[in-house]
Each structure stands twice: as C-alpha cells, then as structure tokens.
Chain A
C-alpha cells in the first residue's frame, strides 16, 4: 500500500511540475485579434510575429483570428473569467475601463529597457497612462480626415472643399437620388451605439463641440448643438444614406457612389482592394468643418494581469515600437503608427491622401468622452439614444440636446454616488 501511495505521490509531483510554468521554458504567446483577419494589418502583425520568433528562439506567437463582431465580447469574457490571452486589444474607452479595473500590467520597465521614451508616442497615449504609469502600446491611430472621390467631385464641377460652406455645397451637388449617389456618408442606422458614436464624434469635434468636457456633460454647448443640427439636416434632407449599416455605406464609397466619407487612414486599403478606379481617384483632406478639429481611435495593445506569459507578451508589444515594424505599419498597414516621426517621406509622396491623416494624428483628440473615458460605452449609449431620438422621432436638435444634458448629468451624479 505504501509503495502504491509513494508512486502516486511521485506521479502527482511530476504532473504538477509539468503544469507549473517555468519562466526559462519556451512559451506560446496567445494573441487573439480581429486584426489578424484584416488585409492591411495582418501582414504587419505576421511580420512582427516572424521577427519576434526569430529573435526569441523557442518562443512562439499564436495568431488567433477572431471575427470582429464577437472579438470584444470574447476578450471581455476571457478576462472576466480570469483566463485571458497574453495580448489584449482595446480601443480608447475600453483601455481606460480596463486600467480603472486594474486588469492590465504596467509596461514602463519594458519601455525603459527598449530605450523608448514615452513622450515620443502619439498624443493619445495619455489614455493608456494613469498615475505616472503606462499600461499599453499604441499600435495605430486612426485619426479622422475626409476621404474624397475626386472623380465624383470633378463630374460635379467642384474642387475639394476647404470651407464648411464649400463642403455643404459639395454634399448637395453630388447627391443624385436617381443614380443612388450621395455627396457624403455617415451613420444613420440606429442600434450600434459604439459605431454611431465613433462616426459622429469627428463631426461634433469639427464644430468645436463635444458631449463631455473635463469630465462634465457638455451637450448644450452651442458648438455641440450646432453639430447636432448639421447631422439632423443631413438626415432629414436625405443627403446621406439613411438607415444603412456602416459596412454598406463604406461599400458604396468603394463602388464610387459616395463622394466624401470621414474615417481613418485604414480605409484606403479597403478601397485599394475593392475598386481600383475609386482608389485611383482617392484623396483625403482635413475635415472642412467650422473649427477644423477632429477625433481619433487609437488601437492599444496591453498585457492582462492574469496572462500566463506576461514578460514575453510585454516584450513582443514593445518590439512593435522598433523602427522596422513602425515603418511597415505605415507602408503595408497604411495607418499612422504609435511613434511620432515614423512615417517615411517617400510613402507620403507616393500616397498623397496620407498627408491629411498624418497631420490629423498629431492634433486629434480621442473620441472617448473627455474626462469620463472609463464610462465611454455607457455615455455613448446615452448620447446615441438621444441623437436617434432627434433623427427618428422628429425631436429638434435643441430639445434633444437639453434632454441629453439632463440624462448625462443624472448619469454622472449616479456614478459619483457609487
């Protein structure tokens, strides 16, 4: 009996030694992301994986493609269950929420070891910072500028708009209902609050407004109300495709049915893949709205505290900030990378449309509600419900703004209470 017990004990010890992670042992870094399936980002990420594996023999990066429709839900479920992957992908409001919930590992030591100064990162890096520590690596910044189809503008006898009046005139002149052609496209489909909020944020910023300012609701500010009136006028006059899903009106732009569309630089890769003719006539300009401001979405990568291979994952992410990968984010990924000054001049010379995004990235603010970023998703829901009320229930912009302000005030008060 003793022999049996001792054998069982030895076997259990052997098994447990196999189960425990050994820091010196080779590891598989798990990196699920919807971006592995994106035509512009996948080659860059695969290049990073290849180089990292070469430089760290025995360690591998598992590229796990997850469809975007379910990616963020799955990532959250894994983190909530205490079983996260080694790399997490987050947009602006989410990284704040994750930092506030103490779910991410600080990366300062890794930045220091790689000799990368934090202030050489794009301005929206501040979203990943708290109490002097940084919890993420900015992969790319998608500052919003206005893509234009020069062929449609030329056919309408127009030049790229430089002022708000010219922009409005161009939106009207390019609209041709019989050809199902629109001068401009933006969101007008109810439901997905995150998409809706992202799409209207640069318009509101372009008027100098914002739903939040320094952590306080700002819906009734004249600039915000003016932006809401503009959005309503586009919708009511059927100048934009109404009730259409974002991918559908993006496809309309690719097919040459939309003259102007405000989004991030990443979209150029979709146009290039989708329609050579539209890509040949593609250009981009800063948003010609009254105040000339814009917003950006920054894709952050971080290492969850409960990740199994934290050290290696952090080194992988910092590796992304080296010059070679940063350059490829521009030339292959066609987006603005996390470090300032990494855009090759030759690329901008060959891709004139990129200039607007390069400039926008330096001044754009995050689309997340300023000063209340950690509540981004909830605030987006409240804002979008009221904008939808304005667009689909005949509410005036002034009244919608008043009601929105009241709802946001109540929301912030409830947060203070808890």
Chain B
C-alpha cells in the first residue's frame, strides 16, 4: 500500500493562515504573560462584585450625609470629623485594641503551648490533635449560643461548677459586669481561634532540624534552654505571620461572638468599633457615619495587611 502523499498546497495554505493569524494576535511571550491574568480574571470579577464594589460604595457614602433610600448630599470629610470627635470613638477604639491585644496574646500562648504538647510522641496523639482542632471547626453562631448558656447567671454550667467545686458561694456574672464581660468574650474568641495557632506552630516546629536539639543536649542544655534558644527563634517567622493574621482578623471582625453574647453591653463595655458601625447603620439609620467607621476599620486593617504582605514578600525573597 502506497503512503498518502502530503497535500503540499494545503499545508502551505495552513501555514499562510497561521501566519496571518499571528499577525493580529499576541506573540507567544505576550500570551504567556497574559495566561495567569486570564486564570485570575474570574476570581477578580467575583471579588470585584462582592467585595471591591461594596467597599468603593461605602467609601462613596462616607463622603455624603446620612440618607436612606438615596445618597445624601456631599459633605466631604464631615462624617469622619463627626465620628472621630464623638464621645463613643475613644471608648470603642480602646475596647477594640484591648480585644485585639488580648486575642493575639492568648492565641499565641495557647497555640504554642498546645503545639509543643502535640509535637511530642504519645499514645493517642492523632486523636488529641483532632480534638484540639474542634473549636476551630465549630460555627461561630453555634459556639456563641453554647457559651451564652454556659455563662448564664441563673442556669449556667460554669456557675454550677464553681459552686460545686467550692470555689465560691455567690454566682459570677460572666457577662453582666465590666470588665468581666470583655474577659469572658475574649476567652471564647481565644478558644475559637487558638487551634489556628496550634496548627501553624506545629508546622513551624516540624521545620526546626532535630540535630539542633541533639547538639544542645550534648552541650548540657535542658528543656527550658532548648525552648528559649532553639524553639522560639525557630518559630520567629511563624509567630510574626500569626500575630499579623490574628490582629487583622480580630480587629476587623470583632463582631459575631460579641453580638451573640452581649451586643456591646453591659453599658457599652464590650462595644468594639465594628459593633458600633453595625449599630450606626442598622439601628440608628446613619449610613454615612457607619460607612466612615467602616473605612476607618479598613484603613487600620490595611496597615496590618501591608505589614503582613511586606513581611511575607521579604521572607520569600530571602528564602526564609
């Protein structure tokens, strides 16, 4: 059987067409550069609709007078001036900072402690690891409702345990007094967030070479010295990343647990800036003021985000 002869004319025609196509299309290297953007485009479009547009609109509203159903008149920076000079602003900022610092400190401490524990070999380690992750997996609303009942003054299990264990005769108003309410809320938030710290610290611990510990032990270092001179420096990068992440999350999202358990009370002592923004918008119908507060929160969170990204970039460049 004879092999079919190639149709030279057709091939030439195909080559010409291809050439003419590449004349008006991008060349190979440009196309290669464009490909990542094409993949990113759908995500960017989705983000633009659900995130960037609302942000831009909030910024737009923050320069206008309060209006419902229509945007009020342009007032420039008046809303910002009013928010920053209000009686409540220093209070809600102080509470937000306390809330954030409390969360960061205790998430780091609890996360590190549990990570060190779970890094050791012991029977049932896998089960223990899974159990420590559970609070993180629990939805915020469910956690809030459960803790609300646990803190309850009349029927709460915590008061029952305190009395049964002989730790006190009078009941504790976990959510009924200042600063008890803020401490209680912080503890719930830390309970919910510390597994994130545990997971990140555990990952960090795996990267510390075991021969460092062996060498230290040969030199006579005990567990405390090992922790101080090997573990903590080895976890420096993780600690910085985690600090920035928890700061961004807790400052900008100081809402769900607080709203579920105290709604900013008693007497405003758990009212964070995010809670205030919600109240201004949905309870007092001050959309301009609420948007201005939102933009202020965004700017503060953005500062931490830039710090986080700068650190992450520096780490990537240095290969750390």
Task: Take A190-B175, A242-B153 as given contacts and tell me if A388 and B266 are in contact as well, using a CB distance cutoff of 8 Å.
Answer: yes
- How far, in whole Å, are A98 and B68 apart by their CA atoms in the complex? 9
Q: Nearest chain-A residue to B262 (Cβ)?
A: A191
Are A191 and B265 in contact, CB atoms less than 8 angstroms apart? Answer: yes
Are A243 and B282 in contact, CB atoms less than 8 angstroms apart? Answer: no
Interface status of B97 (Cβ within 8 A of chain A): no
Query: Chain B residues with Cβ under 8 A from A80's Cβ?
Result: 68-69, 285, 287
Task: Take A80-B287, A377-B283, A393-B267 as given contacts and tell me if A190 and B176 are in contact as well, using a CB distance cutoff of 8 Å.
Answer: yes
Interface string of A260-292 (1 = CB under 8 A from B): 000000000000000000000000000000000
- How far, in whole Å, are A80 and B279 apart by their CA atoms in the complex? 15
Q: Select which of B68, B69, B87, B267 is within 8 A of A389 by beta carbon.
A: B267
* Chain A stretch 217-268: residues in CB contact (< 8 A) with chain B: 241-245, 248
| Min distance, Cβ B227 to any Cβ of chain A, angstroms | 42
Interface status of A392 (Cβ within 8 A of chain B): yes
| Min distance, Cβ B177 to any Cβ of chain A, angstroms | 5
Are B284 and A243 in contact, CB atoms less than 8 angstroms apart? Answer: no
Task: Take A76-B285, A244-B153 as given contacts and tell me if A103 and B68 are in contact as well, using a CB distance cutoff of 8 Å.
Answer: yes
- How far, in whole Å, are A391 and B152 apart by their CA atoms in the complex? 16
- How far, in whole Å, are A384 and B283 apart by their CA atoms in the complex? 14
Interface status of B204 (Cβ within 8 A of chain A): no
Interface status of A386 (Cβ within 8 A of chain B): yes
Q: Select which of A77, A98, A103, A243 is within 8 A of B154 by beta carbon.
A: A243
- How far, in whole Å, are A214 and B54 apart by their CA atoms in the complex? 40
* Chain A stretch 61-89: residues in CB contact (< 8 A) with chain B: 72-73, 76-77, 79-80, 82, 84
Looking at chain A's contact residues, is the secondary structure mostly helix, strand, loop, or mixed?
A: helix
Are B283 and A381 in contact, CB atoms less than 8 angstroms apart? Answer: yes
Query: Chain B residues with Cβ under 8 A from A192's Cβ?
Result: 263, 265
Are B263 and A191 in contact, CB atoms less than 8 angstroms apart? Answer: yes
Task: Take A243-B152, A377-B283, A378-B284 as given contacts and tell me if A101 and B267 are in contact as well, using a CB distance cutoff of 8 Å.
Answer: no
Query: Chain B residues with Cβ under 8 A from A384's Cβ?
Result: 265
Interface status of A42 (Cβ within 8 A of chain B): no
| Min distance, Cβ B276 to any Cβ of chain A, angstroms | 10
Task: Take A76-B282, A393-B177, A393-B178 as given contacts and tell me if A190 and B68 are in contact as well, using a CB distance cutoff of 8 Å.
Answer: no
Are A243 and B175 in contact, CB atoms less than 8 angstroms apart? Answer: yes
Interface status of A362 (Cβ within 8 A of chain B): no
Query: Chain A residues with Cβ under 8 A from B193's Cβ?
Result: none
| Min distance, Cβ B217 to any Cβ of chain A, angstroms | 53
Q: Nearest chain-B residue to A73 (Cβ)?
A: B282
| Min distance, Cβ A97 to any Cβ of chain B, angstroms | 6
Query: Chain A residues with Cβ under 8 A from B283's Cβ?
Result: 193-194, 377-378, 381
Q: Nearest chain-B residue to A377 (Cβ)?
A: B283
Interface status of A385 (Cβ within 8 A of chain B): yes
Query: Chain B residues with Cβ under 8 A from A172's Cβ?
Result: none
Are B173 and A392 in contact, CB atoms less than 8 angstroms apart? Answer: yes
- How far, in whole Å, are A244 and B174 apart by their CA atoms in the complex? 12
Are A242 and B173 in contact, CB atoms less than 8 angstroms apart? Answer: yes
Q: Nearest chain-A residue to B260 (Cβ)?
A: A191
- How far, in whole Å, are A84 and B282 apart by their CA atoms in the complex? 15
Query: Chain A residues with Cβ under 8 A from B267's Cβ?
Result: 190, 385-386, 388-389, 392-393
- How far, in whole Å, are A190 and B69 apart by their CA atoms in the complex? 32
Are B69 and A392 in contact, CB atoms less than 8 angstroms apart? Answer: no
Interface status of A180 (Cβ within 8 A of chain B): yes
- How far, in whole Å, are A306 and B153 apart by their CA atoms in the complex? 46
Task: Take A191-B266, A392-B267 as given contacts and tell me if A82 and B279 are in contact as well, using a CB distance cutoff of 8 Å.
Answer: no
Are B152 and A244 in contact, CB atoms less than 8 angstroms apart? Answer: yes
Interface status of B268 (Cβ within 8 A of chain A): yes
Are B264 and A191 in contact, CB atoms less than 8 angstroms apart? Answer: yes
Interface status of A151 (Cβ within 8 A of chain B): no
- How far, in whole Å, are A72 and B283 apart by their CA atoms in the complex? 9
In the complex, besides A190-B262, A191-B263, A377-B283, 12 extra interface pairs with C-beta distance below 8 angstroms are A72-B282, A73-B282, A79-B68, A193-B265, A377-B284, A381-B283, A385-B268, A386-B267, A388-B265, A392-B177, A392-B266, A393-B177
Using CB atoms and an 8 Å cutoff, list the residues of chain B in contact with chain A: 67-70, 87, 148, 152-155, 173, 175-178, 181, 261-268, 279, 282-285, 287
* 7 A-B pairs with least C-beta separation: A190-B265, A190-B266, A191-B263, A243-B153, A191-B265, A388-B267, A388-B266
Using CB atoms and an 8 Å cutoff, list the residues of chain A in contact with chain B: 72-73, 76-77, 79-80, 82, 84, 97-98, 101, 103, 180, 189-194, 241-245, 248, 304-306, 377-378, 381, 384-386, 388-389, 391-393, 410
- Write 30 A-B pairs (CB below 8 A) sorted by A numbering: A72-B282, A76-B285, A79-B68, A80-B68, A80-B287, A101-B67, A101-B285, A180-B154, A190-B266, A191-B265, A191-B266, A192-B265, A193-B263, A193-B265, A193-B283, A194-B283, A242-B154, A242-B176, A243-B173, A244-B153, A377-B284, A377-B285, A381-B283, A385-B265, A392-B177, A392-B266, A392-B267, A393-B177, A393-B267, A410-B87
